[in-house]
Structure 1
Amino acid sequence: MSIRLISSALLVVSILGTGCVSNKKFAQLQSSYNDLQNQNKELDGRYQTAQRDLTGANTRVKSLEEQIASQRTGLAALQAALDKCLNSTSQGNVNISKLVDEINASNKYIQHLVNTKNKSDSLNMVLTNNLTRSLSREELRDVDVQVLKGVVYISLSDNMLYKSGSYEISPKAGETLSKIAKIIMDYKDYEVLIEGNTDNVPISQTNIRNNWDLSALRASSVVQALQTTYNVDPKRLTAGGRGEYNPIADNNTVEGKAKNRRTQIIITPKLDQFMELIEKAPEGGTTETK
């Protein structure tokens, strides 16, 4: 959302308060305000899509882990069947060759799944380590980096990013954002969701209706800075706000409110290859022996 549109909305509110405006001027201001509302709706739509994508990614990771566990169980069953065949004096030799082939195929597939997941985990750890090493001690007081379920979360405190009650990025945040932007640029196959969060104190500004607006505008400011100042591909970026409804601390304390006022940069790998691996699982399973 541009500053021009926000200013237009503020001007509409100001002029309506005085009651002195021509019909033509009022129509122009009303049109600008409507444009602002439409852009807010579009921003919210993009955020909801990103949330669904993030949920889907976490589901696919869980499915992959379940698949690995299932394959390991199948391997154990095949090994047990092979042992039974080797100890049999009658039909043991009939199924040995087939069992060995199935065990080898399952073992190879499991190793491929494990290697693929380890590669993704390793990339996340390298990304996290590179970012952490690039930040100064002072910056690390306002930046928290974590890897959870295959997703990298970079949490930035609002007192580092913005002026109080504002969505404009402060000058001192530029150096930190430039370091984060470099990491994002280095990992071009990752999607980036910017998520704004606030405490539960109501906002009291004429051009911002509530904490939903404030969190979304803050996320949009970071997205636009990454795009225009640091040349991150906007197709990789999504902005969204969660208002006061995603707290990580108690809003009844000053310290808790400070923790809740944050902007998260969520970096997620594309997990389509994991789904393709799952769909290509070896057919068959354990072979019955008598």
Structure 2
Amino acid sequence: MKKIVLLALCAGFTLTSCVSKKEFAALQAKQQQTEDLLNTATVKLNSCLTDRSTALAKAEGLQNRLDDLKASNQQLIESSKDLTMLTTKGADNLERSLESLKERDLKITRLQDALTKKDSVTLALVTSLKKEVGMDDQDIQINVEKGVVFISLSDKVLFKSGSYNLSTRANEILGKVATVINGKPDFEALVEGHTDNVPYSGGGVLIDNLDLSAKRAAAVVRQLITLGANPAQLIAAGRGEFLPLVPNTSAENKSLNRRTKIYILPKIDQFYEMIETEMKNLEKGGQ
């Protein structure tokens, strides 16, 4: 730029002597125009260079962003694959869990059906006993305890005080019980003797209340056999004073504790056989 100006000045001095003032003015004007064009071109060039630098910076930023997007996209693809695998495994596990729950619910239903059947048999047995025995006596009770039917007889209706010899009325009562037992060949009868806590003092072959309760239970079983009950269904047991209904704190309470209970219960092996049969039916149904 400076060289051009110097050359122009030299040319001006040289030409001053050779050209007219009018021509010199024209040359100066043209020189000024050329300088203006040069300045304009320089400004545009600098602007273009600036724009180019900005464009390159933007291009670099876009490239970096594109690279990041590609990397993120690849990660999403990999994550999607992992998620698909997890979802498939989760679906399989859920399906297996649902099948397991269905199978478990079916087993529970089968067991409930078996227990319902047992409850129905128990209810029928209570009805049968009450109908057969047909007694409205506070000394004779027919009830259900933990799913087991039992007859509770006060010692007053079966025995004399301190004795294991049966009374006359006992034959009438036990005859009806024997009829019920004979009508239930799949059941057993557990005869259980109980006393109060007054020490036994009758002497003879008996030692204590435990002996007395066992002898009374055996006497009831023996009489049931005489009345026609199947001996294979009968069990005798003595509990002495060790399982009282109420505390032995009064004469009335002691009277309640002196009792004989006859449990009418399904044979345990047959009950389990019934459940086992239901389980086998379940397994067949699942195949």
Residue matched to 2:128: 130
Distance 1:251 1:272, change over 3 A: same
Per the alignment, in what secondary structure is the counterpart of residue 260 of structure 2?
Answer: strand
Please report how far the alpha carbon of residue 278 of structure 1 lies from its aligned counterpart in structure 2 after TM superposition.
6.8
Instruction: Give a deviation string over 1:67-88, Cα, whole Å, max 9, x none.
Output: xxxxxxxxxxxxxxxxxxxxxx
**Residue 166 of structure 2 corresponds to which residue in structure 1?**
169
Change (3 A) 1:96 1:203: closer
Per-residue deviation, 1:253: 0.6
Aligned to 2:108: 110
TM-score by length of 2: 0.59
Q: Contact 2:133–2:177 at 8 Å: present in 1 too?
A: no
2:153 partner amino acid? L
Kindly, what percent of the aligned residue pairs are identical?
41
For the pair shown, which has the larger CA radius of gyration, 1 or 2?
2
> How big is each residue's C-alpha offset from its partner over 1:149-180, in whole Å with a ceiling of 9 and x where there is no partner?
22222111000011222111111122211221
Deviation readout 1:10-66 (Å, 9 max, x if unpaired): xxxxxxxxxxxxxxxxxxxxxxxxxxxxxxxxxxxxxxxxxxxxxxxxxxxxxxxxx
Q: Which runs of 5+ in 2 are unaligned?
A: 1-85
The answer to whether the aligner puts 1:213 opposite 2:206 as a matched pair is no
Q: Could you tell me how far 1:273 is from its partner in structure 2?
A: 5.3
The residue that corresponds to 1:200 in the other structure is: 197
* Paired letter, 1:113: L
SS in 1 for 2:166: coil
Question: Contact between 2:190 and 2:236, CA under 8 Å: does it hold in 1?
Answer: yes
* Of 230, 233, 237, the match for 1:233: 230
Match of residue 187 from structure 1? 184
Structure 2 residue aligned with 1:250, among 242, 247, 250?
247
Distance in structure 2 (CA, Å) of the matches to 1:106 and 1:189: 30
Q: CA deviation at 1:234?
A: 1.1
Match of 2:36 in 1: none
- Provide the C-alpha distance between the structure 1 equivalents of 2:268 and 2:240, rounded to a whole number of angstroms: 28
> Which amino acid counterpart does residue 111 of structure 1 have in structure 2?
T
Report 1:32-51 matches (<5 A).
none
Q: Say if 2:145 is the partner of 1:148.
A: yes
How many equivalent pairs are there? 193
Residue in structure 1 matched with residue 54 of structure 2 by the alignment: none
TM-score under structure 1 normalisation?
0.59
Q: CA RMSD in A?
A: 2.8
The one-character-per-residue Cα deviations of 1:200-231 (angstroms, maximum 9, x if unpaired) are 222332323321221111111100001112x2
Instruction: Give the aligned partner of residue 267 of structure 2.
Output: 270
**Partner Cα distance (1:125, 1:106) in 2:** 28
Superposed displacement of residue 243, structure 1: 1.3
More helix by share: 2
Return closer, same or farther for 1:165/1:110 CA change in 2, 3 Å cut-off. same
**Aligned-pair CA distance for 1:95:** 6.1
Off by >6 Å, runs of 4+ in structure 1? none
